[in-house]
Structure 1
């Protein structure tokens, strides 16, 4: 028996790797702060991304997500952006990007503002 193409085994869920990118210095000078969460090499495609902000005034930020994109290796990648006014970003202690899927243990990555050189 012969098989052709990429083989993905059912039940082989793969937790994505998360990276949180801070806002750029140039953007902060313009009064805005955009953070990006990159999720790579996850499977299947229905992992979802969410942001957690330690500040109580969460109404002053907005988020958007991209749909999952299949990568050459058969895994998926996603991204999510989080936008703040720059003055609000300066009051935030940390932001966390969390990936969840069904009954899988969530994957998270936290960025502390005081670790960002441009804050």
Structure 2
């Protein structure tokens, strides 16, 4: 989940062990504008149990236009 972002044109994507070629299900929400003028987004990645057991890291990457992506990883 990304929270308190601005402007609205951000997108979230997933990488598993550094690869964006994922054998799983992704779901994403559109940006939601809050009263304070900031946006939030959410994205969910569902992986089959047998793949999850072999994964070294899962990364969520937020991008906006040509700006440098912002990411967070779980190991």
Which 5+ residue runs of structure 2 have no aligned equivalent? none
Q: Specify which structure has the higher proportion of strand.
A: 2
Backbone CA RMSD of aligned residues = 1.6
TM-score (norm. length: structure 1): 0.58
Superposition deviation, residue 72 in structure 1: 2.2
The change in CA–CA distance for 1:59 and 1:105 in structure 2 (over 3 A counts) is closer
2:54 is aligned, of 91, 100, 109, to 91
State the aligned residue count.
74
Structure 2 match to 1:79 = 42
Distance 1:65 1:79 in 2: 6
Greater Cα radius of gyration, structure 1 or 2: 1
Q: Deviations over 1:77-112 (max 9, x none)?
A: 000010111121011000000000112221100011
Higher relative contact order (CA 8 A, sep 6+): 2
Which 5+ residue runs of structure 1 have no aligned equivalent? 1-37, 113-119
Q: Specify which structure has the higher proportion of helix.
A: 1
Structure 2 match to 1:68 = 31
